[in-house]
Amino acid sequence: MNRLLVSVVVAALALAAPLARAETVTIQWQTANLTEPQFEPVWKAMIAAFEAANPDIHVEPVLVARKDDWTKFVTSAQARRAPCVVQTDLATAAFNGYLLPLDALWNAEPDSLRATYSPDIMRAMHWKGQLYGIPIWGGVFAEIYNRDMLAAAGLDPTHLPATAADYVDWLRRLTKPGQWGTAVLGGPTDTTTRLLLTWIWANGGEAFNADMTKATFAADPKSLEAIKAYLGLAAQGLAAPSPNTTNYLEQTVLFAQGRIATMRSAYWAIAKVLGDNPGLAGKLVVGPVPGNGATLATLSSASIAASCKYPSQAWAFIKFQAGKHWAVERARVSNWMPLRNDMADDPDIAKDPQLQRFLEIGRTARSYPLPHPAWADIAGTDIVKAVQRALLDPARTEQIFRELDAMLTRKLNDL
């Protein structure tokens, strides 16, 4: 009987072993983009397709508002419980030890995959010589106009303003009771910083010196001029009211409702606007940021948290979402630009003239976020607070940004 019992137990364990090995692993995925409506159908289809192809891996989306995204990630990373797959500020997270170096995983991939991205893009994925992210999508900032509102104001949509002065003149003609030319963003997210930088760069100014050791928002005359011109739109009544609470979402809602005639945003904003107001289909005009041709391009990368217990499964999901099919879907459905260098001839990309226009404008774009480990706090808090103070007290704009220069210069050199 004892031998029989032992045999039964051994047999049971042998049968159970494969089941244990096949147990489903759960990896979490956090990015603020999961809360954006135009991305929802893509990420839900992506997870379903990945899980169907990888039945032993379950992907759990972590939905968090953009304003809380960085704080939530830092809190979980410090507790060693961060989601395995994250899309966050790479330099800051890598500097603080929140991310896993990906060099071994990346170098084990075939040359065909590693040749998918340009050397310039891959350089932006590194911190201190190590790889911490894989490019997923990007966003070039351009000026988006409502064609009908331009026509009603007697403006020619085939000859868009080329200079900041011309642009302001257009805003005056587009502003009337209950309608404004544009919106100034001063809400508590780093989109406020992105918009401010587009004005500074297109005006020939610099917010920082080349090696990111000195802030020059007010020290650079062209930068200060651009800041005053941009924030001054609110004081002149050419921008929608309540700029201190206007973020990306509020701007797109204003545009979709026909309350502003132009907005400065990335390609993904078109999908958001058309989702809010399908009647604007075919009525949008895209042009470069008025000025010297410089603009901003965000680079969104996927990384693995340093505390991730399942890095191989996380890597499999990152490769999956970076694939060509999902690059097309993000562009086609969510209006997020692909970063792969093998997309130009794809039929779904080539037939979209607006996407092609953004790609053209992006040729002179500068990368964002800026490469400094304190950037998340600088962009999401310090610069935003300065913008908000200046909007409330325009007469002190120069002094406010001189104080910002001094404070940021100290912060840049503390590390």
Q: Is residue 205 part of a domain?
A: yes
Last residue of a domain, one of 341, 360, 379: 360
The CATH number of whichever domain residue 210 belongs to comes to: 3.40.190.10
- For residue 22, the model assigns a pLDDT of 57
* 68, 195, 246, 280 from 274: Cα distances, Å: 26, 21, 19, 6
Residue 18 is assigned to a structural domain of this protein: no
Higher pLDDT, 412 or 367: 412
- Classify residue 168: in a domain, yes or no: yes
Q: Which tens digits make up the pLDDT trace of 259-316? A: 999 999 999 899 899 999 999 999 999 999 999 989 998 889 999 999 999 999 999 9
Residue 16 covered by a domain: no
Report the alpha-carbon distance of residue 198 to residue 266 in Å, rounded: 12
Mean pLDDT of 345-363: 84
Same domain, 174 and 97: no
Last residue of a domain, one of 322, 341, 360: 360
Q: Is the pLDDT of residue 6 over 60?
A: no
Q: Quick one: pLDDT at residue 363? A: 80
Q: Is the residue at 194 inside a domain?
A: yes
Same domain, 353 and 251: no
Classify residue 97: in a domain, yes or no: yes
How far, in Å, CA of 76 to CA of 73, rounded? Answer: 5
Q: Which helix (H) or strand (E) holds 185?
A: none
* Residues 171 and 285 grouped into a single domain: yes
Specify the pTM.
0.78
pLDDT at 12 over 70: no
Distance of alpha carbon 11 from the chain centroid: 54
pLDDT interval class at 247 (50, 70, 90): very high
Q: Which residue has the higher pLDDT, 404 or 336?
A: 404
Residues 264 and 399 in one domain: yes
Q: How many domains does the chain have?
A: 2
14 within domain boundaries: no
Write down which residue in 360, 384, 399 finishes a domain.
360
Q: Does 17 map to a domain?
A: no
Q: What is the pLDDT of residue 3?
A: 46
Choose the weakest-confidence range: 67-71, 130-134, 233-237, 262-266: 67-71
Q: Do 226 and 214 reside in the same domain of the chain? A: yes
The pLDDT of residue 343 is: 81
**Pair (34, 127) in one structural domain:** yes
Tell me: do 277 and 305 sit in the same domain.
no
Region class of 155: left (phi > 0), else alpha (psi between -120 and 50), else beta: beta
Examine the domain organization and report whether 201 and 259 are in the same domain: yes
Going by pLDDT thresholds of 50, 70 and 90, the confidence category of residue 9 is very low
pLDDT at 19 over 50: no
The parent domain of residue 84 ranges over 24-137+300-360
Looking at the structure, do residues 125 and 53 belong to the same domain, yes or no?
Answer: yes
Give pLDDT tens digits for 24-68. Answer: 999 999 999 999 888 999 999 999 999 999 999 999 999 999 889
391-397 contacts at long range (C-beta below 8 A, 24 or more positions apart): 391/184, 391/186, 391/231, 391/234, 391/243, 391/244, 392/244, 394/231, 394/232, 394/235, 397/227, 397/228, 397/231
Check residue 314 and give its pLDDT.
98
Q: Are residues 276 and 401 in the same domain?
A: yes
Given a cut of 60, is residue 5 above it in pLDDT? no
Of 310, 300, 307, 354, whose CA–CA distance to 332 is shortest? Answer: 354
Identify whether residues 170 and 195 lie together within a single domain: yes
Instruction: Write the pLDDT tens digit of every residue in 368-388.
Output: 888 888 998 999 999 999 999
- If asked whether residues 246 and 318 sit together in one domain, one would say no
Q: Residues of the chain with pLDDT > 90: what percent?
A: 74
pLDDT at 21 over 60: no
**Residue 413 above 90 pLDDT?**
yes
